[in-house]
A and B are shown apart, each in its own frame.
Chain A
Amino acid sequence: MTTTLLTPAPWDDWQLFGEQVISGLATGSVYALVALAVVLIYRSTDVVNFAQGEMAMLVTFSMWSLTLAGFPAWTVLFIGIALGFALGGFIERTIIRPAENSPHLTVVVVTLGLFVFLNSIATWIWAQGELPKVFPTPFGFDSVNLGVARVTTHSIGISAVALAIMAGLYLLFNRTSLGLAMRATAQNPHAARLMGINVGRMLMLGWALASAVGALAGMLVAPVTFLYPAFMLSVLLYAFAAAVLGGLDSPPGAIIGGFAVGVAENLFGTYTPDDILGPEMKLPLTLLLLVIVLLIKPSGLLGRSQVRRV
Protein backbone atom coordinates (compact mmCIF):
# COMPACT_ATOMS: atom_id res chain seq x y z
CA MET A 1 0.00 0.00 0.00
CA THR A 2 2.98 2.30 0.20
CA THR A 3 3.38 4.72 -2.63
CA THR A 4 6.56 6.76 -2.80
CA LEU A 5 6.17 10.43 -3.47
CA LEU A 6 9.52 10.52 -5.12
CA THR A 7 10.16 8.62 -8.33
CA PRO A 8 12.75 7.25 -8.20
CA ALA A 9 13.59 7.58 -4.50
CA PRO A 10 17.21 8.56 -3.77
CA TRP A 11 17.69 5.44 -1.59
CA ASP A 12 16.98 3.26 -4.62
CA ASP A 13 19.84 4.76 -6.56
CA TRP A 14 22.54 6.69 -4.70
CA GLN A 15 24.61 6.84 -7.86
CA LEU A 16 21.89 8.87 -9.58
CA PHE A 17 21.55 11.11 -6.54
CA GLY A 18 25.28 11.73 -6.48
CA GLU A 19 25.37 12.51 -10.17
CA GLN A 20 22.50 14.95 -9.87
CA VAL A 21 24.12 16.74 -6.93
CA ILE A 22 27.48 17.00 -8.65
CA SER A 23 26.15 18.16 -11.99
CA GLY A 24 23.93 20.56 -10.00
CA LEU A 25 27.07 21.97 -8.38
CA ALA A 26 28.60 22.38 -11.85
CA THR A 27 25.68 24.36 -13.30
CA GLY A 28 25.41 26.01 -9.90
CA SER A 29 28.93 27.36 -10.35
CA VAL A 30 27.75 29.06 -13.55
CA TYR A 31 24.73 30.52 -11.73
CA ALA A 32 27.11 31.62 -9.01
CA LEU A 33 29.30 33.48 -11.53
CA VAL A 34 26.34 35.30 -13.08
CA ALA A 35 24.94 36.00 -9.61
CA LEU A 36 28.35 37.42 -8.63
CA ALA A 37 28.24 39.68 -11.67
CA VAL A 38 24.77 40.89 -10.68
CA VAL A 39 25.89 41.47 -7.09
CA LEU A 40 29.05 43.32 -8.18
CA ILE A 41 26.98 45.86 -10.08
CA TYR A 42 24.21 45.98 -7.50
CA ARG A 43 26.67 46.79 -4.72
CA SER A 44 28.38 49.56 -6.61
CA THR A 45 25.37 51.23 -8.22
CA ASP A 46 22.29 49.87 -6.37
CA VAL A 47 21.00 48.77 -9.73
CA VAL A 48 20.05 45.28 -10.83
CA ASN A 49 21.46 44.86 -14.31
CA PHE A 50 18.82 43.03 -16.32
CA ALA A 51 21.09 43.08 -19.37
CA GLN A 52 23.73 40.96 -17.61
CA GLY A 53 22.72 37.80 -19.43
CA GLU A 54 22.37 39.46 -22.82
CA MET A 55 25.80 41.07 -22.51
CA ALA A 56 27.19 37.58 -21.94
CA MET A 57 25.11 36.24 -24.84
CA LEU A 58 26.51 38.84 -27.23
CA VAL A 59 30.07 37.95 -26.25
CA THR A 60 29.37 34.22 -26.53
CA PHE A 61 27.94 34.64 -30.04
CA SER A 62 30.94 36.73 -31.08
CA MET A 63 33.21 33.99 -29.79
CA TRP A 64 31.19 31.39 -31.65
CA SER A 65 32.04 33.29 -34.82
CA LEU A 66 35.70 33.15 -33.83
CA THR A 67 35.58 29.37 -33.39
CA LEU A 68 34.10 29.15 -36.90
CA ALA A 69 37.12 31.11 -38.07
CA GLY A 70 39.24 28.36 -36.61
CA PHE A 71 40.33 29.73 -33.22
CA PRO A 72 40.90 27.02 -30.59
CA ALA A 73 38.47 26.79 -27.65
CA TRP A 74 40.93 27.99 -25.01
CA THR A 75 41.99 31.04 -26.99
CA VAL A 76 38.36 31.90 -27.60
CA LEU A 77 37.65 31.69 -23.87
CA PHE A 78 40.35 34.24 -23.06
CA ILE A 79 39.42 36.58 -25.89
CA GLY A 80 35.80 36.35 -24.75
CA ILE A 81 36.71 37.39 -21.21
CA ALA A 82 38.65 40.36 -22.57
CA LEU A 83 35.78 41.31 -24.87
CA GLY A 84 33.31 41.02 -21.98
CA PHE A 85 35.54 43.30 -19.90
CA ALA A 86 35.72 45.90 -22.65
CA LEU A 87 31.99 45.67 -23.38
CA GLY A 88 31.09 46.20 -19.70
CA GLY A 89 33.35 49.23 -19.39
CA PHE A 90 32.04 50.66 -22.63
CA ILE A 91 28.40 50.22 -21.62
CA GLU A 92 29.02 51.86 -18.24
CA ARG A 93 30.68 54.87 -19.88
CA THR A 94 28.23 55.39 -22.71
CA ILE A 95 24.85 54.18 -21.48
CA ILE A 96 24.83 53.94 -17.70
CA ARG A 97 26.90 57.00 -16.74
CA PRO A 98 24.58 59.54 -18.41
CA ALA A 99 21.75 58.16 -16.26
CA GLU A 100 23.95 58.14 -13.16
CA ASN A 101 22.08 60.85 -11.28
CA SER A 102 18.63 59.67 -12.27
CA PRO A 103 16.44 57.64 -9.93
CA HIS A 104 17.43 53.97 -9.66
CA LEU A 105 14.30 52.90 -11.48
CA THR A 106 15.40 54.92 -14.51
CA VAL A 107 18.71 53.08 -14.62
CA VAL A 108 16.93 49.75 -14.22
CA VAL A 109 14.76 50.62 -17.22
CA VAL A 110 17.91 51.57 -19.13
CA THR A 111 19.29 48.08 -18.47
CA LEU A 112 15.97 46.60 -19.64
CA GLY A 113 16.26 48.62 -22.84
CA LEU A 114 19.81 47.36 -23.21
CA PHE A 115 18.49 43.82 -22.81
CA VAL A 116 16.09 44.24 -25.75
CA PHE A 117 18.71 46.07 -27.82
CA LEU A 118 21.43 43.46 -27.39
CA ASN A 119 18.96 40.66 -28.01
CA SER A 120 17.85 42.26 -31.27
CA ILE A 121 21.42 42.77 -32.40
CA ALA A 122 22.25 39.12 -31.78
CA THR A 123 19.11 37.94 -33.56
CA TRP A 124 19.91 40.21 -36.48
CA ILE A 125 23.51 39.05 -36.84
CA TRP A 126 23.46 35.40 -35.84
CA ALA A 127 19.93 34.02 -35.97
CA GLN A 128 19.88 33.83 -39.77
CA GLY A 129 21.12 30.27 -40.10
CA GLU A 130 20.31 27.21 -38.12
CA LEU A 131 19.70 27.55 -34.39
CA PRO A 132 20.77 26.61 -31.84
CA LYS A 133 24.49 26.72 -32.53
CA VAL A 134 26.97 24.28 -31.04
CA PHE A 135 29.53 26.01 -28.82
CA PRO A 136 32.80 24.18 -28.15
CA THR A 137 34.12 23.36 -24.69
CA PRO A 138 37.86 23.40 -24.02
CA PHE A 139 37.37 20.59 -21.47
CA GLY A 140 35.72 17.93 -23.62
CA PHE A 141 32.74 15.79 -22.69
CA ASP A 142 34.54 12.66 -21.53
CA SER A 143 32.99 10.75 -18.69
CA VAL A 144 34.95 10.42 -15.45
CA ASN A 145 34.02 8.01 -12.67
CA LEU A 146 34.39 9.68 -9.29
CA GLY A 147 33.20 6.58 -7.39
CA VAL A 148 30.00 8.13 -6.07
CA ALA A 149 29.08 9.41 -9.48
CA ARG A 150 30.08 9.68 -13.11
CA VAL A 151 30.61 13.24 -14.31
CA THR A 152 31.81 14.87 -17.49
CA THR A 153 35.16 16.58 -17.83
CA HIS A 154 33.19 19.66 -18.89
CA SER A 155 31.39 19.74 -15.51
CA ILE A 156 34.70 19.43 -13.68
CA GLY A 157 36.27 22.07 -15.92
CA ILE A 158 33.60 24.71 -15.45
CA SER A 159 33.51 24.14 -11.69
CA ALA A 160 37.28 24.52 -11.48
CA VAL A 161 37.32 27.68 -13.60
CA ALA A 162 34.42 29.17 -11.60
CA LEU A 163 36.13 28.42 -8.29
CA ALA A 164 39.37 29.96 -9.56
CA ILE A 165 37.53 33.12 -10.63
CA MET A 166 35.79 33.34 -7.25
CA ALA A 167 39.10 32.98 -5.45
CA GLY A 168 40.63 35.61 -7.72
CA LEU A 169 37.81 38.05 -7.04
CA TYR A 170 38.09 37.39 -3.32
CA LEU A 171 41.79 38.21 -3.40
CA LEU A 172 41.18 41.30 -5.53
CA PHE A 173 38.57 42.73 -3.17
CA ASN A 174 40.16 41.76 0.11
CA ARG A 175 43.89 41.83 -0.47
CA THR A 176 44.58 44.69 -2.88
CA SER A 177 44.25 48.44 -2.50
CA LEU A 178 42.39 48.56 -5.81
CA GLY A 179 39.79 46.16 -4.42
CA LEU A 180 39.58 48.20 -1.22
CA ALA A 181 38.99 51.34 -3.29
CA MET A 182 36.28 49.57 -5.29
CA ARG A 183 34.54 48.43 -2.12
CA ALA A 184 34.80 51.94 -0.68
CA THR A 185 33.28 53.39 -3.84
CA ALA A 186 30.40 50.93 -3.64
CA GLN A 187 29.78 51.77 -0.03
CA ASN A 188 30.08 55.54 0.01
CA PRO A 189 31.03 57.21 -3.28
CA HIS A 190 31.08 60.71 -1.75
CA ALA A 191 33.55 59.74 0.92
CA ALA A 192 35.53 57.75 -1.66
CA ARG A 193 36.03 60.92 -3.71
CA LEU A 194 37.37 62.71 -0.65
CA MET A 195 39.91 59.90 -0.23
CA GLY A 196 41.24 60.75 -3.70
CA ILE A 197 39.62 57.73 -5.34
CA ASN A 198 38.62 58.20 -8.97
CA VAL A 199 35.03 57.09 -8.47
CA GLY A 200 34.10 57.12 -12.15
CA ARG A 201 36.98 54.81 -12.98
CA MET A 202 35.99 52.43 -10.17
CA LEU A 203 32.40 52.22 -11.40
CA MET A 204 33.58 51.54 -14.93
CA LEU A 205 35.94 48.88 -13.64
CA GLY A 206 33.10 47.31 -11.64
CA TRP A 207 30.93 47.02 -14.75
CA ALA A 208 33.85 45.72 -16.77
CA LEU A 209 34.65 43.04 -14.19
CA ALA A 210 31.02 42.00 -13.84
CA SER A 211 30.64 41.81 -17.59
CA ALA A 212 33.81 39.74 -17.96
CA VAL A 213 32.63 37.30 -15.30
CA GLY A 214 29.19 37.09 -16.94
CA ALA A 215 30.73 36.51 -20.37
CA LEU A 216 32.86 33.71 -18.97
CA ALA A 217 29.77 32.13 -17.45
CA GLY A 218 27.99 32.35 -20.79
CA MET A 219 30.84 30.64 -22.61
CA LEU A 220 31.02 27.92 -19.93
CA VAL A 221 27.34 27.09 -20.06
CA ALA A 222 26.81 27.41 -23.82
CA PRO A 223 28.30 23.96 -24.66
CA VAL A 224 25.52 22.41 -22.53
CA THR A 225 22.55 24.66 -23.27
CA PHE A 226 23.58 25.33 -26.90
CA LEU A 227 23.60 28.82 -28.28
CA TYR A 228 20.62 30.93 -29.33
CA PRO A 229 19.74 34.57 -28.59
CA ALA A 230 17.69 33.74 -25.48
CA PHE A 231 20.05 31.09 -24.14
CA MET A 232 21.09 33.16 -21.09
CA LEU A 233 17.53 33.89 -20.04
CA SER A 234 16.98 30.87 -17.83
CA VAL A 235 20.56 31.14 -16.55
CA LEU A 236 19.93 34.76 -15.59
CA LEU A 237 16.67 33.81 -13.90
CA TYR A 238 18.39 31.17 -11.78
CA ALA A 239 21.26 33.58 -11.13
CA PHE A 240 18.86 36.27 -9.91
CA ALA A 241 17.27 33.65 -7.67
CA ALA A 242 20.76 32.75 -6.43
CA ALA A 243 21.70 36.39 -5.80
CA VAL A 244 18.50 37.14 -3.93
CA LEU A 245 18.75 33.88 -2.02
CA GLY A 246 22.26 34.72 -0.85
CA GLY A 247 21.48 38.39 -0.23
CA LEU A 248 21.81 40.85 -3.10
CA ASP A 249 24.70 42.71 -1.50
CA SER A 250 26.77 39.69 -0.51
CA PRO A 251 29.29 38.08 -2.90
CA PRO A 252 29.70 34.96 -0.71
CA GLY A 253 25.92 34.81 -0.58
CA ALA A 254 25.75 34.84 -4.39
CA ILE A 255 28.15 31.91 -4.55
CA ILE A 256 26.31 29.85 -1.93
CA GLY A 257 23.01 30.80 -3.56
CA GLY A 258 24.32 29.75 -6.98
CA PHE A 259 25.34 26.29 -5.80
CA ALA A 260 22.12 25.85 -3.81
CA VAL A 261 19.95 26.81 -6.77
CA GLY A 262 21.91 24.57 -9.14
CA VAL A 263 21.52 21.53 -6.88
CA ALA A 264 17.88 22.30 -6.07
CA GLU A 265 17.07 22.64 -9.77
CA ASN A 266 18.59 19.25 -10.54
CA LEU A 267 16.99 17.43 -7.62
CA PHE A 268 13.55 18.89 -8.37
CA GLY A 269 14.02 17.90 -12.00
CA THR A 270 14.92 14.33 -11.08
CA TYR A 271 12.70 13.53 -8.15
CA THR A 272 9.38 15.24 -8.80
CA PRO A 273 7.06 12.43 -9.88
CA ASP A 274 6.13 12.67 -13.54
CA ASP A 275 2.44 11.92 -12.97
CA ILE A 276 1.98 14.81 -10.56
CA LEU A 277 4.40 17.57 -11.47
CA GLY A 278 6.99 16.49 -13.97
CA PRO A 279 10.54 17.77 -14.47
CA GLU A 280 9.42 21.00 -16.12
CA MET A 281 8.22 22.08 -12.69
CA LYS A 282 11.83 22.45 -11.53
CA LEU A 283 11.92 26.21 -12.16
CA PRO A 284 8.73 27.05 -10.21
CA LEU A 285 9.76 24.69 -7.42
CA THR A 286 13.20 26.29 -7.21
CA LEU A 287 11.63 29.73 -7.06
CA LEU A 288 9.19 28.47 -4.42
CA LEU A 289 12.18 27.43 -2.34
CA LEU A 290 13.50 30.97 -2.77
CA VAL A 291 10.21 32.48 -1.61
CA ILE A 292 10.24 30.29 1.49
CA VAL A 293 13.80 31.31 2.38
CA LEU A 294 12.95 34.98 1.90
CA LEU A 295 9.89 34.62 4.12
CA ILE A 296 12.15 33.40 6.90
CA LYS A 297 15.08 35.71 6.16
CA PRO A 298 14.02 38.68 4.01
CA SER A 299 17.54 39.99 3.42
CA GLY A 300 18.72 36.66 2.01
CA LEU A 301 21.04 34.12 3.59
CA LEU A 302 24.03 36.43 3.99
CA GLY A 303 22.44 39.79 3.16
CA ARG A 304 22.82 42.65 5.53
CA SER A 305 20.12 44.16 7.66
CA GLN A 306 22.52 45.60 10.15
CA VAL A 307 21.70 47.80 13.07
CA ARG A 308 24.18 50.61 13.33
CA ARG A 309 24.96 53.34 15.77
CA VAL A 310 24.74 56.82 14.33
Chain B
Amino acid sequence: MLKISGVRAAYGPVQALDSVSLSVPEGAIVTLLGSNGAGKTTTLRVISGLVRPAAGTVEFMGRRIDRRPPEWIVRAGVSHVPEGRQLFADMTVLENLALGAHTRRDRKSVRADMERMFAYFPILEERRTQVAGALSGGEQQQLAIARGLMSRPRLLLLDEPSLGLAPRVIRGIFEIIQQVNKDEGVTILLVEQDASLALSLAGYGYVLETGRVVMADESARLREDEGVRRSYLGY
Protein backbone atom coordinates (compact mmCIF):
# COMPACT_ATOMS: atom_id res chain seq x y z
CA MET B 1 0.00 0.00 0.00
CA LEU B 2 2.85 2.33 0.93
CA LYS B 3 6.25 1.99 -0.64
CA ILE B 4 9.20 4.24 0.11
CA SER B 5 12.34 3.76 -1.97
CA GLY B 6 15.70 5.37 -1.47
CA VAL B 7 14.38 8.48 0.24
CA ARG B 8 16.92 11.07 1.22
CA ALA B 9 15.91 14.21 3.10
CA ALA B 10 17.67 17.05 4.83
CA TYR B 11 16.81 20.07 6.94
CA GLY B 12 19.15 22.64 5.49
CA PRO B 13 22.65 21.25 5.89
CA VAL B 14 21.53 18.54 8.34
CA GLN B 15 21.02 15.19 6.70
CA ALA B 16 17.99 13.55 8.30
CA LEU B 17 17.32 10.58 6.04
CA ASP B 18 19.97 8.81 4.05
CA SER B 19 18.33 6.40 1.64
CA VAL B 20 15.36 4.98 3.51
CA SER B 21 13.31 2.23 1.90
CA LEU B 22 10.38 0.52 3.48
CA SER B 23 6.94 -0.77 2.65
CA VAL B 24 3.68 -1.12 4.51
CA PRO B 25 1.16 -3.70 3.29
CA GLU B 26 -2.55 -2.95 3.37
CA GLY B 27 -4.25 -3.66 6.69
CA ALA B 28 -1.02 -4.09 8.61
CA ILE B 29 0.41 -2.37 11.64
CA VAL B 30 4.07 -1.58 10.99
CA THR B 31 6.36 0.16 13.43
CA LEU B 32 9.45 2.31 13.04
CA LEU B 33 11.95 1.92 15.86
CA GLY B 34 15.02 3.95 16.56
CA SER B 35 16.57 6.36 18.99
CA ASN B 36 16.06 10.12 18.99
CA GLY B 37 17.26 11.69 15.78
CA ALA B 38 17.28 8.42 13.86
CA GLY B 39 14.83 9.85 11.33
CA LYS B 40 11.52 8.31 12.38
CA THR B 41 9.57 11.56 12.55
CA THR B 42 11.19 12.81 9.35
CA THR B 43 10.09 9.63 7.57
CA LEU B 44 6.49 10.32 8.58
CA ARG B 45 6.83 13.96 7.54
CA VAL B 46 8.09 12.91 4.12
CA ILE B 47 5.10 10.60 3.69
CA SER B 48 2.55 13.27 4.65
CA GLY B 49 4.24 15.83 2.43
CA LEU B 50 5.50 18.20 5.13
CA VAL B 51 9.08 17.50 4.06
CA ARG B 52 10.10 17.13 0.42
CA PRO B 53 12.59 14.37 -0.13
CA ALA B 54 15.80 15.36 -1.90
CA ALA B 55 15.85 12.00 -3.62
CA GLY B 56 13.81 8.81 -3.77
CA THR B 57 10.13 8.09 -4.22
CA VAL B 58 7.05 7.59 -2.06
CA GLU B 59 4.23 5.56 -3.55
CA PHE B 60 0.81 5.25 -2.01
CA MET B 61 -1.73 2.87 -3.56
CA GLY B 62 0.36 2.75 -6.68
CA ARG B 63 0.60 6.53 -7.09
CA ARG B 64 3.60 8.71 -6.47
CA ILE B 65 2.92 11.24 -3.73
CA ASP B 66 6.39 12.58 -2.96
CA ARG B 67 5.96 15.81 -4.91
CA ARG B 68 2.47 16.51 -3.67
CA PRO B 69 1.46 19.06 -1.00
CA PRO B 70 0.09 17.78 2.33
CA GLU B 71 -3.47 18.83 1.50
CA TRP B 72 -3.40 16.59 -1.57
CA ILE B 73 -1.97 13.66 0.36
CA VAL B 74 -4.67 13.93 3.04
CA ARG B 75 -7.29 13.70 0.30
CA ALA B 76 -5.53 10.65 -1.13
CA GLY B 77 -6.16 8.88 2.20
CA VAL B 78 -3.12 9.42 4.42
CA SER B 79 -3.63 10.95 7.85
CA HIS B 80 -0.75 12.05 10.05
CA VAL B 81 -1.18 12.31 13.82
CA PRO B 82 1.92 14.34 14.63
CA GLU B 83 4.29 14.22 17.54
CA GLY B 84 3.12 16.44 20.37
CA ARG B 85 -0.46 16.07 19.10
CA GLN B 86 -0.68 19.59 17.58
CA LEU B 87 -4.29 20.11 18.52
CA PHE B 88 -6.10 23.39 17.99
CA ALA B 89 -5.80 24.23 21.65
CA ASP B 90 -8.28 27.10 21.78
CA MET B 91 -10.96 25.20 19.91
CA THR B 92 -13.47 22.75 21.26
CA VAL B 93 -13.31 18.99 20.88
CA LEU B 94 -16.11 19.18 18.33
CA GLU B 95 -14.30 21.85 16.30
CA ASN B 96 -11.10 19.81 16.31
CA LEU B 97 -13.00 16.80 15.03
CA ALA B 98 -14.73 18.92 12.38
CA LEU B 99 -11.33 20.14 11.20
CA GLY B 100 -10.19 16.55 10.93
CA ALA B 101 -12.98 16.12 8.40
CA HIS B 102 -12.07 19.30 6.53
CA THR B 103 -11.42 17.48 3.26
CA ARG B 104 -14.86 15.83 3.29
CA ARG B 105 -18.05 17.27 1.93
CA ASP B 106 -20.53 14.60 3.04
CA ARG B 107 -21.85 16.31 6.17
CA LYS B 108 -24.20 13.58 7.22
CA SER B 109 -21.59 10.86 7.35
CA VAL B 110 -19.17 13.24 9.08
CA ARG B 111 -21.74 13.53 11.85
CA ALA B 112 -22.02 9.74 11.96
CA ASP B 113 -18.24 9.39 12.09
CA MET B 114 -18.10 11.75 15.05
CA GLU B 115 -20.51 9.47 16.85
CA ARG B 116 -18.28 6.51 15.98
CA MET B 117 -15.29 8.36 17.44
CA PHE B 118 -17.28 8.97 20.60
CA ALA B 119 -17.90 5.24 20.77
CA TYR B 120 -14.15 4.56 20.62
CA PHE B 121 -13.28 7.47 22.91
CA PRO B 122 -16.24 8.03 25.28
CA ILE B 123 -14.35 10.67 27.27
CA LEU B 124 -14.33 12.93 24.21
CA GLU B 125 -18.10 12.96 24.12
CA GLU B 126 -18.17 14.15 27.72
CA ARG B 127 -15.68 16.87 26.85
CA ARG B 128 -17.16 17.76 23.45
CA THR B 129 -17.67 21.46 24.17
CA GLN B 130 -14.44 21.98 26.12
CA VAL B 131 -11.41 23.50 24.42
CA ALA B 132 -8.69 21.00 23.53
CA GLY B 133 -6.10 22.87 25.59
CA ALA B 134 -8.05 22.14 28.76
CA LEU B 135 -7.96 18.34 28.29
CA SER B 136 -5.53 16.04 30.08
CA GLY B 137 -2.60 14.60 28.15
CA GLY B 138 -4.33 11.26 27.59
CA GLU B 139 -7.53 12.93 26.46
CA GLN B 140 -5.57 15.16 24.09
CA GLN B 141 -3.89 12.12 22.54
CA GLN B 142 -7.25 10.45 22.09
CA LEU B 143 -8.56 13.59 20.44
CA ALA B 144 -5.53 13.75 18.16
CA ILE B 145 -6.12 10.17 17.00
CA ALA B 146 -9.86 10.71 16.62
CA ARG B 147 -9.22 13.90 14.63
CA GLY B 148 -6.79 11.96 12.45
CA LEU B 149 -9.44 9.33 11.75
CA MET B 150 -12.09 11.90 10.82
CA SER B 151 -10.64 12.24 7.32
CA ARG B 152 -11.40 8.52 6.80
CA PRO B 153 -7.81 7.63 6.05
CA ARG B 154 -6.68 4.32 4.62
CA LEU B 155 -3.25 4.86 6.17
CA LEU B 156 -2.77 6.38 9.60
CA LEU B 157 0.65 7.70 10.60
CA LEU B 158 1.04 7.80 14.37
CA ASP B 159 3.99 9.64 15.88
CA GLU B 160 4.75 8.82 19.51
CA PRO B 161 1.19 8.36 20.75
CA SER B 162 2.49 7.31 24.18
CA LEU B 163 4.60 10.41 24.77
CA GLY B 164 4.24 11.75 28.30
CA LEU B 165 1.33 9.51 29.25
CA ALA B 166 0.81 7.21 32.23
CA PRO B 167 1.18 3.46 31.48
CA ARG B 168 -2.47 2.74 32.15
CA VAL B 169 -3.54 5.49 29.76
CA ILE B 170 -1.08 4.25 27.13
CA ARG B 171 -2.51 0.73 27.33
CA GLY B 172 -6.01 2.07 26.76
CA ILE B 173 -4.92 4.07 23.72
CA PHE B 174 -3.03 1.16 22.19
CA GLU B 175 -6.02 -1.09 22.60
CA ILE B 176 -8.08 1.41 20.67
CA ILE B 177 -5.43 1.68 17.95
CA GLN B 178 -5.54 -2.08 17.55
CA GLN B 179 -9.32 -2.04 17.46
CA VAL B 180 -9.39 0.72 14.83
CA ASN B 181 -6.98 -1.29 12.71
CA LYS B 182 -9.15 -4.37 12.96
CA ASP B 183 -12.63 -2.80 12.73
CA GLU B 184 -11.99 -0.08 10.19
CA GLY B 185 -9.28 -1.78 8.20
CA VAL B 186 -7.05 1.27 8.63
CA THR B 187 -3.41 0.53 7.92
CA ILE B 188 -1.10 1.93 10.58
CA LEU B 189 2.50 3.09 10.50
CA LEU B 190 3.54 3.63 14.10
CA VAL B 191 6.54 5.54 15.38
CA GLU B 192 7.04 4.75 19.02
CA GLN B 193 9.73 5.37 21.60
CA ASP B 194 8.57 2.42 23.69
CA ALA B 195 9.87 -0.43 21.53
CA SER B 196 8.38 -3.32 23.46
CA LEU B 197 4.96 -1.71 23.30
CA ALA B 198 5.33 -1.01 19.59
CA LEU B 199 6.48 -4.57 18.82
CA SER B 200 3.60 -6.04 20.79
CA LEU B 201 1.17 -4.16 18.58
CA ALA B 202 2.86 -4.26 15.19
CA GLY B 203 3.37 -7.31 13.04
CA TYR B 204 6.43 -5.95 11.35
CA GLY B 205 9.11 -3.46 12.28
CA TYR B 206 11.91 -1.39 10.83
CA VAL B 207 14.87 -0.16 12.84
CA LEU B 208 16.29 3.21 11.86
CA GLU B 209 19.73 4.45 12.81
CA THR B 210 21.08 7.84 11.74
CA GLY B 211 18.77 8.06 8.76
CA ARG B 212 19.16 4.48 7.52
CA VAL B 213 17.14 1.32 7.83
CA VAL B 214 19.50 -1.07 9.59
CA MET B 215 17.08 -3.88 10.22
CA ALA B 216 13.66 -5.01 9.08
CA ASP B 217 11.80 -8.06 10.24
CA GLU B 218 8.72 -9.54 11.84
CA SER B 219 8.13 -8.15 15.31
CA ALA B 220 8.62 -11.54 16.94
CA ARG B 221 12.02 -11.94 15.29
CA LEU B 222 13.06 -8.39 16.15
CA ARG B 223 12.21 -9.01 19.77
CA GLU B 224 14.54 -12.01 19.78
CA ASP B 225 17.36 -10.06 18.22
CA GLU B 226 20.26 -9.42 20.55
CA GLY B 227 21.05 -5.93 19.23
CA VAL B 228 17.43 -4.77 19.27
CA ARG B 229 17.04 -6.11 22.78
CA ARG B 230 20.06 -4.34 24.07
CA SER B 231 19.48 -1.04 22.28
CA TYR B 232 15.72 -0.63 22.41
CA LEU B 233 14.20 -3.12 24.80
CA GLY B 234 16.70 -2.66 27.59
CA TYR B 235 17.32 -6.25 28.66
Contact = CB atoms under 8 A, between A and B. Distances in A.
Interface of A: 177, 180-181, 183-184, 187-188, 190-198, 304, 306, 308-310
B75 A196 contact: yes
Given A177-B102, A306-B133, A194 B87 contact: no
22 contacts: A177-B98, A177-B102, A180-B95, A183-B91, A187-B88, A188-B88, A191-B86, A194-B74, A194-B82, A195-B99, A195-B102, A195-B103, A196-B70, A196-B74, A197-B99, A198-B69, A306-B90, A306-B133, A308-B89, A308-B134, A309-B133, A310-B137
Contacts of B88: 183-184, 187-188, 191
B136 interface: yes
Interface string B77-113: 0011010001111110001001110110000000000
Nearest to B157: A194
A177 to B, nearest CB: 7
B87 A191 contact: yes
A194 B91 contact: no
A177 B95 CA distance: 10
B135 interface: yes
Given A181-B99, A181-B102, A187-B89, A198 B71 contact: yes
B50 to A, nearest CB: 7
Nearest to A308: B133
Contacts, number: 73
Contacts of A193: 50, 69-71
Contacts of B87: 188, 191
Contacts of A191: 82, 86-88
A160 to B, nearest CB: 31
By CB atoms of chain B within 10 A, which of A184, A191, A194, A196 has the most?
A194
B48 interface: yes
Given A191-B82, A197-B71, A308-B89, 8 more contacts: A177-B98, A181-B102, A188-B89, A190-B50, A196-B71, A196-B102, A308-B134, A309-B134
Given A184-B88, A184-B91, A187-B91, A194 B103 contact: no
B133 A180 contact: no
Contacts of B50: 190, 193-194
A309 B80 contact: no
B151 interface: yes
B74 A195 contact: yes
B161 to A, nearest CB: 15
B133 A197 contact: no
Contacts of A198: 69, 71
Interface string B123-164: 000000000011111000000000100010000000000000
Nearest to A178: B102
A193 B68 CA distance: 12
Contacts of A183: 88, 91
A196 B103 contact: yes
Nearest to A200: B69
Nearest to B110: A177
Nearest to A197: B102
